[in-house]
Structure 1
Amino acid sequence: MTAAVAPWKQQVLQRGASLYVGDLDPEVTETDLRAAFYHVGPISSLRLCRCRLTGKSLCYAYVNLYSHAQASKALGLLNHTNLKGKPMRIMWCQRDPFARKTGFANLFVKNIDFSISSSCLESIFSKYGTILSCKVAGENGWSKGFGFVQFESQDSALAAQTALHDTMLGGKKLHVCKFVKKTERTAAAPCEVFTNLYVKNLDETITEDGLKDMFSVVGDVSSVAIMMDHEGKSKHFGFVNFKSPDDAKRAVDVMNGSVVGSKTLFVGKAQRKSERTMILKQEYKDLHNRSTEKLRALNLYVKNLNVDIDDKKLKEVFSAYGKILSVKVICHNDGTSKQFGFVCFASPQEANKALVALNGALLEGKILHVAKAQCKKDRHQEWHKFSGQNQPQSFYPSNCNTVSSALHPLHFNFDRSPHLPFLHHPMFCQHFGAHFGVQHPFMAQNYKQKFSTYMPVAETPLGSTLNTRDKSYQQHVC
């Protein structure tokens, strides 16, 4: 049977002498890389990738040597060796992103013993085919207990998965499966279906075997892990993975809150970091909303204060109406008052009492404005709601070419049919320009054409209704 080879295998075989060097320490420089590769042979070119904005290292680089043999030698000698205290991950440079984007022939390996390094894992999996990349995930120099192995062909990956899944390595049973991208895992797995449990508040004397025996009473357990520190001591939490989602749910109901030794266990669904972050954000948002609602009923906004009013004086005035939790007069950087502040009462009833009593009251020569304090978002919503309900109504005739009211933020509403008709706009007198004389016979006419709002009074809807008082006023003005 012919092995299934990636469509980019020819590129892999003909890639020449270009290497990708990843997982670099942020302090590694081009000089450090040249020194590391110097013993292998002369370097054609080297590029350490950096952020365009900050100039900081992106922790990966490309190294070009003069021959494929030199590059192969460098890959064999330097892969997983330490550079400034951190192991380098070296692989052939792949210009085609097919393998990276699709996860072709990529395996996910979990429940790895903390003593297993990337080089050790690669040596175990390399028996089943050519490995393009192998990595044990770590943080601050310590293993996270899982890793990734990418083969050159699907058949090699399948052979390794079949042979190594559920085998013992370093005292732990490996779990080997096909790598699935995060987006696909999120879409494929409903939130309610889970098999992996998070167990915390464990006694330090509990071992993984003891934890497995404890949960095996509920159902079949596939794997167990207790998190350890770098000294091998328990971090007092771990994970239990069941074969059946029903058993996992039952274990949460039975084991959560149970007492083991002198400690009460917490057992719940194991969550990814993104899930925990989202839940914490929602909890914070709910807490913030509850606090805002509570403060909205207690907090008063006071403006038009005299510049001499300080926190002490404001508290003295408002304390007559109830217990005050806090008082603040807002000031400029130089300490002068901005002439407004906030007063927070202990109860909504006391706040309402002060609002009714002091709104419009005179304090040191100024009339106070007291209202319930609002956040900026609420003020904007209220303003938009108010402005939407109070659209301006033009009192010009329909054929007048007036400027749109949208250009005027401050406007007033007028009745479309006022009891006293408005005078002609913009000229109070229809005889305007009649006395300009013979030298300028068309001046009045030109003036009328100049202003699009000019109309003979008789042609307007108001012209026929002008009463005697309006006409007398026009004659008086002229």
Structure 2
Amino acid sequence: MNPRGPRNFRATLYVGDLHQDINRAILYQKFSTAGAVYSIKVCSDKATRRSLGYAYVNFYRRTDAQRALDTLNFDVVMGKPMRIMWYEPDPTMRRSTVGNVYLHNLDESICSKALYDTFSIFGHISSCKVVCDEKGKSKGYGFVHFTSQEVAHVAIEKLNGMMFNDRKAFLMPYKTRQDREAEKRQWAEKECEVELRARAQEYTYLLIKNFGEDISNDKLNEVFRQYGECLSYVYLKMIT
């Protein structure tokens, strides 16, 4: 790779879920079949120098990058399917949950490519992944990130509760951990409020005022017990 010309950031692909032993040479051999490659960067840990499992592949032309995305996405390299998507330089966009669909109760046979093939009929997908353990076995959940929130809603309405192979999968809008924790707090507050209201309905409290100074707790009980049992009573004397 001997760059001859300006770098085109619009032609950069993110390549994830890579085997730790994959290097630039292996990726170049794979991606150069789609067009002229400007540069490749395999990201690694600064301390250990071990691969972090993802890389960036930059082409001279966006059309070649598009061809690589269309033809190489989920190709198996060293036993692991690559997950390819467009590189997004804006970190706020990368963290955005708009259009992101969370799926759970997935059959173990469902892979990322199967999800992509199923959901791509609804609209453009920026990222699609079934979460797996270290041995490559599905954990039973995944994500499909559409570029449009409207498309995500349609996909949820159409496929929520649908059988994926032998299991019924459930879909919902993806929420960040902070959003889920805030939602839990709101539910807890509502449950606490409902419980307090229920307890308040079990008892009747009376506030009594404008009586003489000779009143006492015993006299309060004597006066009001003729109307029913007094569970508690207290006389508060103002200190002047």
Q: With the length of structure 2 as denominator, give the TM-score of the two structures.
A: 0.71
Q: Which has the higher contact order (CA 8 A, sep 6+)?
A: 2
2:43 and 2:9 mapped to 1: Cα distance?
Answer: 20
1:72 and 1:179 mapped to 2: Cα distance?
Answer: 27
Of residues 90, 106, 114, the one that matches 1:112 is 106
- 1:187 corresponds to: 182
**Structure 1 residue 43 corresponds to structure 2 residue 37:** yes
Structure 1 residues 248-306: Cα deviation after superposition (integer angstroms, max 9, x where no partner) = xxxxxxxxxxxxxxxxxxxxxxxxxxxxxxxxxxxxxxxxxxxxxxxxxxxxxxxxxxx
Code of the residue aligned with 2:13 in structure 1: it is L
State the Cα RMSD in Å: 1.8
| Pairing of 1:56-455 with structure 2 (within 5 A) | 56-139=50-133, 140-190=135-185
1:176 and 1:183 mapped to 2: Cα distance?
Answer: 20
1:60 Cα deviation (Å)? 0.9
1:166 and 1:109 mapped to 2: Cα distance?
Answer: 10
Structure 1 pair 15/55, CA: closer, same or farther in 2 (3 Å)? closer
1:98 Cα deviation (Å)? 2.4
- 1:452 corresponds to: none
Of residues 25, 28, 32, the one that matches 2:26 is 32
Structure 2 stretches lacking a partner, 5+ long: 1-7, 189-240
1:175 Cα deviation (Å)? 0.3
1:189 and 1:102 mapped to 2: Cα distance?
Answer: 21
Contact 1:47-1:62 at 8 Å conserved across structures: yes
Structure 1 pair 72/118, CA: closer, same or farther in 2 (3 Å)? same
State percent identity of aligned pairs.
38
1:83 and 1:157 mapped to 2: Cα distance?
Answer: 30
Structure 1 residues 319-364: Cα deviation after superposition (integer angstroms, max 9, x where no partner) = xxxxxxxxxxxxxxxxxxxxxxxxxxxxxxxxxxxxxxxxxxxxxx
1:187 Cα deviation (Å)? 2.9
1:63 Cα deviation (Å)? 0.4
1:160 Cα deviation (Å)? 0.6
1:100 Cα deviation (Å)? 2.7
1:79 and 1:154 mapped to 2: Cα distance?
Answer: 23
1:183 Cα deviation (Å)? 2.3
Contact 1:42-1:66 at 8 Å conserved across structures: yes
Q: Secondary structure at the match of 2:67?
A: helix
Structure 1 stretches lacking a partner, 5+ long: 1-13, 194-478
Q: Secondary structure at the match of 1:128?
A: coil
1:38 Cα deviation (Å)? 2.3
Runs of 4+ in 1 over 6 A off after TM superposition: none
Structure 1 residues 82-106: Cα deviation after superposition (integer angstroms, max 9, x where no partner) = 1111111100010112233231210
1:188 and 1:102 mapped to 2: Cα distance?
Answer: 18
When the two structures are aligned, how many residues end up with a matched partner?
180
Greater mean alpha carbon deviation, residues 117-126 or residues 51-60: 51-60
Contact 1:20-1:63 at 8 Å conserved across structures: yes
1:190 Cα deviation (Å)? 4.8
Contact 1:15-1:92 at 8 Å conserved across structures: no
2:99 and 2:91 mapped to 1: Cα distance?
Answer: 14
1:51 Cα deviation (Å)? 1.6
Q: With the length of structure 1 as denominator, give the TM-score of the two structures.
A: 0.36
1:42 Cα deviation (Å)? 2.0
Code of the residue aligned with 2:54 in structure 1: it is Y
2:132 and 2:145 mapped to 1: Cα distance?
Answer: 17
Contact 2:9-2:58 at 8 Å conserved across structures: no
- 2:193 corresponds to: none
1:62 Cα deviation (Å)? 0.6
Code of the residue aligned with 1:170 in structure 2: it is N
Structure 1 pair 125/102, CA: closer, same or farther in 2 (3 Å)? same
Structure 1 residues 152-199: Cα deviation after superposition (integer angstroms, max 9, x where no partner) = 111111111111111111021110000011222123215997xxxxxx
- Of structures 1 and 2, the larger Rg is shown by 1
Structure 1 pair 192/177, CA: closer, same or farther in 2 (3 Å)? closer
Q: Secondary structure at the match of 1:53?
A: coil
